[in-house]
A and B are shown apart, each in its own frame.
Chain A
């Protein structure tokens, strides 16, 4: 009973912030509540959302993944390079996702078998992978080209289905799957249990190392998926793509009420958290706020929302 109420309150709180925020913005700027703008927000949010979904798994276990921005960049670069070299778009996407998953699994192995703190381990991988991306791309953007494969590929980021951008479908699918896995599967249960009390989870006969490898693999895989969306949308991969994205993803998770200590929270909160950040970015753009002030305001909103969360939890 109590959990249900508590969960409901946590969910509702960030939801309340989001709704109030939307109302204020729509009063200040009537252009906000148009269908095209809302679709715009959702499309822009999709990148951060997909990364944040993976980050939710990691943070629920009490970990953190700083390497997602770099994984996004290398996956995008590999996909673009493969297509420009005449490969099939399908194979390029699979390869990019596999690289993301492999790098994530590497994170997980360093953390679980190497017993390195997640912050340090993923900081190392973040730097390493960013470096490799610069070497791989020679510091220059890689264009996917204009082959038939390249056109099909660009659809993933720029295409529409029933008038709605494809990245939005991807985002919804990712969130839905993540919710289902966390709520209804063994893996999800183990993620929460590990985040609450690792020792007790081990004593219950669960291989926690495997769960750790799995959550970082999921995070790496989804970062690669985000990399594919971005690269497809621009039809080219930028060597500096995704810089700082890990922080936006962490902010979305925390805004959604998930505890950095692990064990508490969930994917629904992350949806709201990502939307709050998306709406904030969009509304400041609509109101022609300079990008310097945008950063400043974003920081303030994050701090305020998290403080509010802390207060109410007490």
Chain B
């Protein structure tokens, strides 16, 4: 297995009232890529935060190159050569690439003035190695997510990091960007650097990782060389049980047309025409920036339409705000959970009831707390949300459970049309399955569901019909039986097909 550069042994972390990690081991080998896997809430992030000095461990040991070390803060971790690239990138969009790479460590001359030419020269050097062709003076905000990721890696390299932790690095990347990321990762490996790779996409793990460590419920489960395990085995270890079919399809009788859209147009989308029936799931595929989310948000009243018609249950409606959309029976579960899906600072109960307080309150807007709590408890049971209670703050829940809270909030409005935007993004396999089951329940209950997803297998597995968007237009609509990965991709890159 080779020499380990870092060994974490028996690491335990306790938060007030919760033990997040129970005696976890992790070996990071020199010049190897270690996959760190586990469901959301399994403790991956906590473990990495301990490694990078964000949290202090309660007990346990960290051994760097054979010597026990204490990592008290992020600066110390950096000095030891440990860098982390977070899922949500930590770049400042109105600073340049060079400024971002050297933020806080700008080279200065003897007067204390930043030595710009030196900074940009050094930045260029690192960027060349990673194949970033932009000028170092380019503002980070102008770069694609994939390029920004590369800037984060450049930053890690500028720190001369020997261990780089990557948390879901491909979550927002296109296939092409993913390929170039993998190329860079392999080069880093060849240079003898070690990488801890966290991802929910098991295919990637088999593509680039050498070893895999699996956590579950804050505990170390197993470490294997990658060639000794397969996908099924890993999933089994992660969830602690065998998963039956991944996409549990249910077929049900289609009912009346609940939503019809005619010639919808605004700054983001053009010529949008489609309709959806009760009991139907329409998958909405497309690449980043194809206008899927914008279409969803236009239907939900976040953006206004310039022209066209939206017809709900045969009645033309004019929706100018999310509040009006909810009244018309349209609900939206956002892809950006923390940004606009849930209110992290409110508790579970308050989030679930937020859209329907009108119904849960009486004279003078006084909230019927009993009713509210019962509604929340029903949701917690119905969706099996893992929480210590209705008064737990949503920010303390794992991603999958936050997503379920977001779904619950939408469901409370009893929508006829439910738009799900990347409903399983950043959610682990076990919770994914649960969310699919929940979506199918909605379907059986007669809702029309529009599901946006960047994971084509998910789209293929769940949808009755698949619409594909490219540059703000619907380029094609495929029946499930006739759809496959290739056809979807062709439409997604703008090749119109004649066969429907």
Spell out A's residues near B (CB within 8 Å): 1-4, 184-187, 189-190, 192-193, 195-197, 199-207, 263-264
Please measure, in the bound complex, the distance between the C-alpha atom of A184 and the C-alpha atom of B366, giving whole angstroms. Answer: 6
A201 lies within 8 A of B357 (CB): no
Contact A185 B366, CB 8 Å, known A3-B347, A196-B346 = yes
B388 within 8 A of A: yes
Please measure, in the bound complex, the distance between the C-alpha atom of A284 and the C-alpha atom of B319, giving whole angstroms. Answer: 60
Option from B355, B361, B367 in Cβ contact (under 8 Å) with A204: B355
Please measure, in the bound complex, the distance between the C-alpha atom of A195 and the C-alpha atom of B346, giving whole angstroms. Answer: 10
A189 lies within 8 A of B388 (CB): no
Please measure, in the bound complex, the distance between the C-alpha atom of A264 and the C-alpha atom of B355, giving whole angstroms. Answer: 20
Contact A206 B354, CB 8 Å, known A1-B388, A2-B17 = yes
Q: Whose C-beta in chain A lies nearest to the C-beta of B358?
A: A186
Option from B392, B409, B413 in Cβ contact (under 8 Å) with A2: B392
Chain B, 320-349, CB within 8 A of any chain A CB: 321-323, 325-327, 332, 334, 339-347
CB distance from B457 to the nearest CB of A (A): 28
Please measure, in the bound complex, the distance between the C-alpha atom of A69 and the C-alpha atom of B26, giving whole angstroms. Answer: 60
Chain A residues within an 8 Å CB radius of B302: 202-203
Known pairs A184-B366, A185-B367, A201-B343 / 12 extra A-B pairs, C-beta < 8 Å: A1-B17, A2-B17, A3-B347, A186-B361, A186-B365, A189-B357, A197-B340, A200-B343, A202-B322, A203-B300, A203-B340, A204-B322
Contact A185 B361, CB 8 Å, known A2-B17, A192-B346 = yes
CB distance from B103 to the nearest CB of A (A): 23
B248 within 8 A of A: no
Please measure, in the bound complex, the distance between the C-alpha atom of A179 and the C-alpha atom of B300, giving whole angstroms. Answer: 34
Task: List 4 A-B pairs, minimum CB-CB distance, nearest first.
Answer: A196-B345, A186-B365, A205-B323, A205-B326
Contact-residue bracket for chain B = 35 or more
Chain B, 265-306, CB within 8 A of any chain A CB: 300, 302
Q: Whose C-beta in chain B lies nearest to the C-beta of A190?
A: B357
Some 16 contacts from A to B, beta carbons below 8 A apart, are A2-B17, A2-B392, A3-B347, A187-B365, A189-B367, A193-B343, A200-B340, A200-B341, A201-B354, A202-B302, A202-B340, A204-B343, A204-B355, A205-B327, A206-B355, A263-B345
Please measure, in the bound complex, the distance between the C-alpha atom of A37 and the C-alpha atom of B373, giving whole angstroms. Answer: 45
Chain A residues within an 8 Å CB radius of B66: none
B364 within 8 A of A: yes
Chain B residues within an 8 Å CB radius of A201: 343, 354
CB distance from A197 to the nearest CB of B (A): 5
B389 within 8 A of A: yes
Chain A residues within an 8 Å CB radius of B17: 1-2
Contact A193 B350, CB 8 Å, known A185-B365, A200-B342, A205-B355 = yes
B392 lies within 8 A of A1 (CB): yes
CB distance from A268 to the nearest CB of B (A): 18
Q: Whose C-beta in chain A lies nearest to the C-beta of B300?
A: A203
A205 lies within 8 A of B343 (CB): no
Q: What number of residue pairs across chains A and B have CB atoms under 8 A from each other?
A: 92
Chain A residues within an 8 Å CB radius of B409: 204
CB distance from B393 to the nearest CB of A (A): 6
CB distance from B333 to the nearest CB of A (A): 9
Q: Whose C-beta in chain A lies nearest to the C-beta of B342?
A: A200
Q: Whose C-beta in chain B lies nearest to the C-beta of A210?
A: B323
Please measure, in the bound complex, the distance between the C-alpha atom of A202 and the C-alpha atom of B322, giving whole angstroms. Answer: 7
B364 lies within 8 A of A185 (CB): yes
Contact A207 B346, CB 8 Å, known A1-B388, A186-B361 = no
Main secondary structure of the interface of B (DSSP, over half): mixed
B339 lies within 8 A of A199 (CB): yes
Chain B residues within an 8 Å CB radius of A195: 345
Chain B residues within an 8 Å CB radius of A206: 323, 354-355
B73 within 8 A of A: no
B322 lies within 8 A of A203 (CB): yes
Option from B327, B354, B365, B369 in Cβ contact (under 8 Å) with A193: B354
Q: Whose C-beta in chain A lies nearest to the C-beta of B413?
A: A205
Please measure, in the bound complex, the distance between the C-alpha atom of A199 and the C-alpha atom of B366, giving whole angstroms. Answer: 24
Type the 1/0 row for B302-322, where 1 means its CB is closer than 8 Å to any CB of A: 100000000000000000011
B391 lies within 8 A of A1 (CB): yes
B345 lies within 8 A of A204 (CB): no
B96 within 8 A of A: no
B354 lies within 8 A of A204 (CB): yes
Chain A residues within an 8 Å CB radius of B178: none
Please measure, in the bound complex, the distance between the C-alpha atom of A37 and the C-alpha atom of B434, giving whole angstroms. Answer: 64
Contact A264 B339, CB 8 Å, known A184-B366, A184-B367 = no
Please measure, in the bound complex, the distance between the C-alpha atom of A206 and the C-alpha atom of B389, giving whole angstroms. Answer: 25
Please measure, in the bound complex, the distance between the C-alpha atom of A185 and the C-alpha atom of B361, giving whole angstroms. Answer: 8
Q: Whose C-beta in chain B lies nearest to the C-beta of A180?
A: B366
B344 lies within 8 A of A196 (CB): yes
Please measure, in the bound complex, the distance between the C-alpha atom of A266 and the C-alpha atom of B334, giving whole angstroms. Answer: 30
Type the 1/0 row for B347-382, where 1 means its CB is closer than 8 Å to any CB of A: 100100011011001001111010000000000000
Please measure, in the bound complex, the distance between the C-alpha atom of A279 and the C-alpha atom of B240, giving whole angstroms. Answer: 60
B323 lies within 8 A of A207 (CB): yes
B246 within 8 A of A: no
B396 within 8 A of A: yes
Option from B334, B344, B364, B396 in Cβ contact (under 8 Å) with A203: B334
Contact A3 B391, CB 8 Å, known A189-B357, A202-B340 = yes
CB distance from A208 to the nearest CB of B (A): 10
Please measure, in the bound complex, the distance between the C-alpha atom of A201 and the C-alpha atom of B341, giving whole angstroms. Answer: 9
Contact A4 B391, CB 8 Å, known A186-B365, A204-B355 = yes
Q: Whose C-beta in chain B lies nearest to the C-beta of A209?
A: B321
Q: Whose C-beta in chain B lies nearest to the C-beta of A264?
A: B345
Please measure, in the bound complex, the distance between the C-alpha atom of A199 and the C-alpha atom of B336, giving whole angstroms. Answer: 11
Chain A residues within an 8 Å CB radius of B339: 197, 199-200
Scoring A184, A189, A204 by chain B CB atoms within 10 A of each residue's CB, the highest score goes to A204
CB distance from B341 to the nearest CB of A (A): 6
A203 lies within 8 A of B365 (CB): no
Chain B residues within an 8 Å CB radius of A185: 361, 364-367
Q: Whose C-beta in chain A lies nearest to the C-beta of B15?
A: A2
Chain A residues within an 8 Å CB radius of B327: 205
Chain B residues within an 8 Å CB radius of A186: 357-358, 361, 365-367
CB distance from B55 to the nearest CB of A (A): 13
CB distance from B217 to the nearest CB of A (A): 20
Option from A2, A187, A202 in Cβ contact (under 8 Å) with B393: A2
CB distance from B139 to the nearest CB of A (A): 24
Chain A residues within an 8 Å CB radius of B350: 189, 192-193
CB distance from B392 to the nearest CB of A (A): 7
Chain A residues within an 8 Å CB radius of B323: 205-207
Please measure, in the bound complex, the distance between the C-alpha atom of A189 and the C-alpha atom of B300, giving whole angstroms. Answer: 23
Q: Whose C-beta in chain A lies nearest to the C-beta of B333?
A: A203
Type the 1/0 row for B387-426, where 1 means its CB is closer than 8 Å to any CB of A: 0110111001000000000000100010000000000000
Please measure, in the bound complex, the distance between the C-alpha atom of A193 and the C-alpha atom of B325, giving whole angstroms. Answer: 20
CB distance from A3 to the nearest CB of B (A): 6
Chain B residues within an 8 Å CB radius of A207: 321, 323
A196 lies within 8 A of B361 (CB): no
CB distance from B327 to the nearest CB of A (A): 8
Q: Whose C-beta in chain A lies nearest to the C-beta of B361?
A: A186
